[in-house]
Amino acid sequence: MTGFTLHKLHRSLGAEVRGLDLAQPLDPTTRDALIEAWLEHMVLLFRGQELSPETQRRFCENFGPLGERSRKADDRPEGAGVEHEMLVTNVRRDGVPIGSLPDGEMYFHHDKCYVPVPDWGTMLYAMVVTDTGGHTLFANMCEALETLPDDLRSTIDGRRVLHMYKYHPTERVELEDDIGRHDHCWQPAVVTHPRSGRRALYINELMTALIDGYSEEESCGIRDALMAHVRSANVIYEHKWKKGDLVMWDNWCTMHARTDFPPEQTRMLRRYTIRGQALTA
Ligand code: OGA
Ligand code: MN
């Protein structure tokens, strides 16, 4: 008996978990069943939760140690969270955002693919949501890989890719920039999920700057073709937030993006991550 039921959100990925109050401690059987469900569905949604920073953090710790913030503390917006916590919000004090990722659209990306040990999971809890827009899109990168046309697959098979991030939601790092100034890391183009053993495409539109063996221009072309494939493959779930939603996603086999939203509407979510491990092809 695990005390929860699963309800699919999309044909390809995502499930809503009903019957759990995440503010209460989980017993080991329920925790193990949730991990199994998470590995299968990649994105889990829990609606109607009331979570303090402490209870959200405790829930997150069921899955492993918390991930670190990669951005240096003195380079972060004031109040944008201490240590493991991140506030994702457009609320401003004296015109300055008090949190991270404040405004509008965000291109598809994998959290932390630009560091050697990418976080496994991210948990976002909605405290204030917009009336329109600000949806989060999740793509199943295992199915994206499985359905890739042979010619595209052979262009990336066995290659490495350079991921870089300059903490901007819709701007990529330019290679002629001094890349040493930005977080960056080489990763396999296709990774094997350390827990499920499934293979997943590990390329995204925001952070993937270069594919080994190709010029910058060729790399952009391949990346764009891959993104067009993902968009056409019916592997994307679009989450429309309600206050009290907690969504946890797996960064090793999904990428995510955010749709635009009106700047005059307030949006505020609290985020913790689960530390991961180095990824191999
Ligand atoms: C994140 C992220 C998207 C959103 O927290 O990593 O990409 O919808 N958030 O705010
Ligand atoms: Mn993200």
Residue 74 pLDDT level (bands cut at 50, 70, 90): low
Alpha helices (H) along the chain: 28-41, 53-60, 141-146, 150-156, 216-232
**Nearest-atom index, ligand 1, CA of 256:** 7
What does the pLDDT look like over 202-243, one tens digit per residue? 999 999 999 999 999 999 999 999 999 999 999 999 999 999
Choose which residue among 84, 101, 108 to substitute to test ligand 1 binding: the one with the highest number of ligand atoms within 8 A of its C-beta.
101
* Residue 265 structure tokens: 């509407």
- The pLDDT tens digits for 3-14 are 899 999 999 999
**Closest ligand 1 atom to Cα of 271:** 5
Q: What is the pLDDT of residues 133-150, one digit of tens each?
A: 999 999 999 999 999 999
Which atom of ligand 1 lies nearest, measured to the CA of 124?
5
Set out the domains of the chain in order of their start, with CATH numbers: 5-104+119-130+240-252+261-274 (3.60.130.10), 141-232 (no CATH)
pLDDT for 82: 63
Structure confidence at residue 77 (pLDDT): 58
pLDDT of residue 2: 74
Q: Which helix (H) or strand (E) holds 239?
A: strand 236-239
Question: For a substitution probing ligand 1, which of 108, 120, 136, 249 has the most ligand atoms within 8 Å of its CB?
Answer: 136
Rounded to the nearest whole angstrom, what is the distance from the C-alpha of residue 32 to the centroid of ligand 2? 25
Measured from CB, residues less than 6 Å from any atom of ligand 1 are 88, 101, 106, 111, 122, 124, 136, 256, 258, 269, 271
Question: From the alpha carbon of 101, which atom of ligand 1 is closest?
Answer: 10
Hey, whose CA ends up nearest to atom 6 of ligand 1? 111
Q: How far is ligand 1, taken at its centre, from the CA of residue 258, in Å?
A: 7
Grouping H, G, I as helix, E, B as strand and the rest as coil, residue 181 is helix
Query: Vertex 113, ends 112 and 116: CA angle to 5°?
Result: 90
Residue 81 has pLDDT above 80, yes or no: no
Cα–ligand 1 centroid distance for 72 (angstroms): 19
- pLDDT at residue number 73: 61
Question: Nearest ligand, CA of residue 165?
Answer: 2
Checking if the pLDDT of 80 tops 90, the result is: no
Query: How many CA within 13 A on the CB side of residue 208?
Result: 33
Sheet holding 236-239, edge to edge: 106-109, 254-258, 136-140, 236-239
Assigned token pair, 60: 């997150």
pLDDT in tens, 100-121: 999 999 999 999 999 999 999 9
